[in-house]
Structure 1
Amino acid sequence: MIGTRKIAAVMAAAALASGCSSIVNHRGFVADEVLIASVQPGVDNRMSVERTLGRPTFTSEFGEPVWYYVASTTEQAPFTTPKITQHTVLAVRFDENDNVLSVDRTGMDQVARIDPDSTVTPTLGRDRGLLEDLFGNIGQVGAATGPGGAGSPTGQ
């Protein structure tokens, strides 16, 4: 009897402890170091890069042609916001003949952490008060159309 209570207590403690662990989530490109190392400048072209690494996460729209492979890993403790723990961007640059010029990698050093201010939204223009918002349009409806305009009762 006491043995089953101890087993039940241990199982309950294990269930509670597992509920407090972080959730790890990986998104994007799954980097294989052997495949990345096999892409060589001056040897490979677009077709061979696509066959080796797959389709890129996104490509450059302007300037020199660059393919970007992005991978990100986040951890999230219960009831908190996720935090990036690993981030990698692989940039494969091509020349005008579609040959690989360079393969560059950046990591967490390029991640910008921003904290938006959720209490104030900056806007351009006048700063209006509550009463001006409520009663600001009184007298404005139909004022743009004069006599004989499209909004006049005579329709002329």
Structure 2
Amino acid sequence: MNGILKKILSVALLVLIFGCSEQYRNHGYIPSDEELSSVSVSQDDKNSVIEKLGTPSIGGILNDGNIYFVQSKVLKNSIRASKPIDRQVLVLSFDDNDRLSNIQKFGIDKGKIVILDYRTTPSGLKNMSFLFRLFQNVGGPSAESLLQ
């Protein structure tokens, strides 16, 4: 009987240890630099960009004509809530003729949105508030920390 109890306790301890371990999970998709090199500013239209890069995370929802690819890295722990630790957004802007006019990649540095890469002179985006809403929960206080 004593041997069975030790085995049960050992299994329970292993489940507890591995169940509480932290895991990093990636959500979303951003095309690689190699894939991005296949599209050309002023040459490709919206349909050819989607054909070459795949379906975007967000596009057409905001009615601003841009296509957004979003990728997040989340720290997952079975005890605590998931915590986003990194987020990158690739924004493909189009002109009035649906030609690709700008490619910009945004990320987070110390809680501030920074431009990581761009393929034309950055002139700003028509709907910058969307980016702020998308990044606002990365690096900030979590609901859990506010309750403590």
Band of TM-score, shorter chain: 0.5 to 0.7
- Inter-partner Cα distance in structure 1 for 2:45 and 2:90: 16
TM-score, normalised with respect to structure 1: 0.56
1:61-117 deviations in Å (ceiling 9; x for gaps): 344x11111111101223111111221111100112211000011112332235569
Q: Which residue of 1 aligns with 2:39?
A: 39
Q: Quote the sequence identity (%).
A: 22
What one-letter code is carried by the residue in structure 1 that aligns with 2:92?
Answer: V
Unaligned runs of 5+ in 1: 1-7, 120-156
- Partner in structure 2 of residue 19 of structure 1: 19
The amino acid of 2:39's aligned partner reads: V
Q: Decide whether the 8 Å contact of 2:74 with 2:83 is kept in 1.
A: yes
Q: TM-score, normalised by structure 2?
A: 0.59
Q: Which residue of 1 aligns with 2:4?
A: none
By percentage of residues, which structure has more strand? 2
Residues 30 and 90, structure 2, Cα contact 8 Å, conserved in 1: no
Number of aligned residue pairs: 109
Q: Which residue does the alignment assign to 2:118?
A: none
Show structure 2 runs of 5+ residues with no match: 1-6, 114-134
Letter in 1 for 2:45: N
Where in structure 1 do 4 or more consecutive aligned residues deviate above 4 Å? 11-17, 114-119
SS across alignment from 1:49: helix
Answer with 23-32 or 66-75: which moved more.
23-32
